[in-house]
Amino acid sequence: MPPPVTRSCFSKPMKTHQKIKVAVVGTGQFAQCFIPLYQAHPLVGVSVSVIPADVRANYPENVQGVWVKSIEKATPSASVLQPGDVIEQINGQAVEDVSKFAQITASLKQGSAVILSIARGKVRFFAVVQAR
């Protein structure tokens, strides 16, 4: 049986977060959460998924990449990305799927800058995101 396909990803490299155990109120269960420790790479806090079929027509016909579901406030990418953007490339590397996004973001260095190729609606553009 082939491995399951990753359909969603939240960029949070372990080097920049501390894992803590918290109680889920009213359930008697615990969950693992991640809290920021210090400055991270520029795409930390970006949640992506596959491009939903019902919105694909809103983008260029040949769009390939990952769809931005959400961006945490007060992160470096919050001033550049918007929910609904499609990230097609990071530093010239094609982002074909969520797994590739996770692989590329895991290799980014703390405090680095990245050049993104983005599709926002029918418009394509490049943007630089600098870690703070």
For 28-68, how does the pLDDT look when each residue is reduced to its tens digit (9 = 90+)? Answer: 555 544 444 444 677 888 889 999 999 999 999 999 999 99
Looking at the structure of the chain, the number of domains it has is 1
Residue where the block lists tokens 């399951």: 4
> Is 1 domain-assigned?
no
pTM listed for this prediction:
0.72
> Is 69 domain-assigned?
yes
CATH code, 116: 2.30.42.10
CB 8, CB 49: distance < 8 Å: yes
Q: Which domain holds residue 118?
A: 39-130
pLDDT in tens, 70-127: 998 888 888 899 999 999 999 999 999 988 988 888 888 877 889 999 999 999 999 9
Residues facing residue 22 across a β-bridge = 31
